[in-house]
Amino acid sequence: MSIRFRPLFALSLLCLAASAAAVELPANLPKRKAGLWEMQMGMAGGQSQTMKVCLDEATDKAMYQMGAQMSGSMCSKFSLAVKDGAVVADGVCNLPGPQGNITMTSHSETRFQGDSAYRTTGHVKYDPAVMGHSEADVDSSGKWVGACAAGQKPGDMILPNGQKVNLNDMAKAK
């Protein structure tokens, strides 16, 4: 993935994740198994980024809550539902950009394989275009890889650059 395209990629992933948590979650939303998860995120035709996170039930819920806080009032429309075995999210969000506001319209579907794997596919449209791109396909997946490593606590996330942060500590700091 080109360095120039990375901000667009990050923006797309952030907004898909953040907007998905900006509403009350459906009661039948699938839950992920506690333990160590490996997650990959990328754009169609591009390089993917991999991170690992130690999850428990409380941290899984906190990730959704953090997304809701991040999205704030950016999304004028949003729906989240479990349909035909998939979590379907649609949103229209206004984001600040270097040349003014950007309207991002997104659609994503997440399919779970029990409580130990999932895959999300999404499509994002930008108006006006961002760095010459008016649309992007986004793909992410996650799989349970086992128990959290010795010394890890729930919320510990190892970013693609090797840096470790704790999601629970970040949520408490806000």
Reported as a single tens digit per residue, the pLDDT across 85-141 is 898 888 888 888 777 889 999 999 999 999 999 999 999 999 998 888 899 999 999
The CA distance from 28 to 81, in Å, is 9
pLDDT greater than 60 at residue 20: no
Q: Which of 71, 34, 40 is nearest to 54 (CA)?
A: 34
The CA distance from 33 to 111, in Å, is 15
- 140-156, pLDDT tens digit by residue? 999 999 999 999 999 99
The predicted pLDDT at position 153 comes to 95
The predicted pLDDT at position 70 comes to 56
The predicted pLDDT at position 156 comes to 96
The CA distance from 117 to 128, in Å, is 35
Structure tokens at 126: 């930008």
- 26-69, pLDDT tens digit by residue? 788 888 999 999 999 887 667 789 999 999 998 887 776 665 55
The string over 136-163, giving b where at least 16 C-beta atoms fall within 10 Å of a residue's C-beta and e elsewhere, is bebbbbbbbeeebeeebebbbbbeeeee
Confidence band for 78, pLDDT divided at 50, 70 and 90 = confident
The predicted pLDDT at position 5 comes to 41
Cα–Cα–Cα angle for 138, 22, 10, rounded to 5 degrees: 30
The CA distance from 17 to 164, in Å, is 20
The predicted pLDDT at position 74 comes to 75
Confidence band for 14, pLDDT divided at 50, 70 and 90 = very low
Q: Is residue 146 within 8 Å of 35, Cβ to Cβ?
A: yes
- Give start and end residues of each alpha helix (H) in 28-154: 57-71
